[in-house]
Structure 1
């Protein structure tokens, strides 16, 4: 994989961006959510040579780094439909999760 690429995962997609100028080279939509939408799913990515591994909505995918084609996917049956964190020896991934604060509605803070 060329070193000038930034691989991002966002809202059910994986995309390759040229780090030098921000040009998007390719974009791959991962599994559709309910009613065909991506449902704002977080995507974790892990780069390993010419493959990109992506975790989204309880599935993992292997993508071709040069064009984003999905090489294979695994439904991880029985695990659920949440975010997927990944690790591989010699590589790592940053995993970001949202925290929602809710007020109690009591009016006193």
Structure 2
């Protein structure tokens, strides 16, 4: 299963893969299987990288397969409490890095054009 045509949601103690074209649920996992606290009103974060979903909820970090929702690992983050977990990743991947490089090149070209216009205007004054 390709993950680029899927949306991944986290709500009410469940994680699901939704088909973008049809809106159908491809798979669904109830997190209470891995987290023993009540998740009815828990606020969490979900992050996709390659074929892995990282879910932070109730002070616990889980990793599931994006393909089918199967369990990969769990870290209970002992000593961190049970509040909201914010997730970020430094690995942007080649495609994202290409976009960042293209944006930087465009910004540099625009700066050169502004500098050239400013120099030409100043010289003609």
2:77 match: 76
Deviation of 1:43 (Å): 2.2
Deviation of 1:74 (Å): 0.2
Q: Report which of the two structures shows the higher radius of gyration computed on alpha carbons.
A: 2
Deviation of 1:3 (Å): 1.0
Matched-pair contact (CA < 8 Å) for 2:51–2:67: yes
Deviation of 1:70 (Å): 1.3
TM-score by length of 1: 0.74
RMSD value, Cα:
1.4
Aligned residues: 88
Structure that is richer in helix per residue = 2
Distance across 2 between alignment mates of 1:60 and 1:82: 11
Structure 2 unaligned runs (5+)? 94-125
Structure that is richer in strand per residue = 1
TM-score by length of 2: 0.65
Distance across 2 between alignment mates of 1:79 and 1:11: 22
Structure 1 unaligned runs (5+)? 92-109
Distance across 2 between alignment mates of 1:23 and 1:43: 22
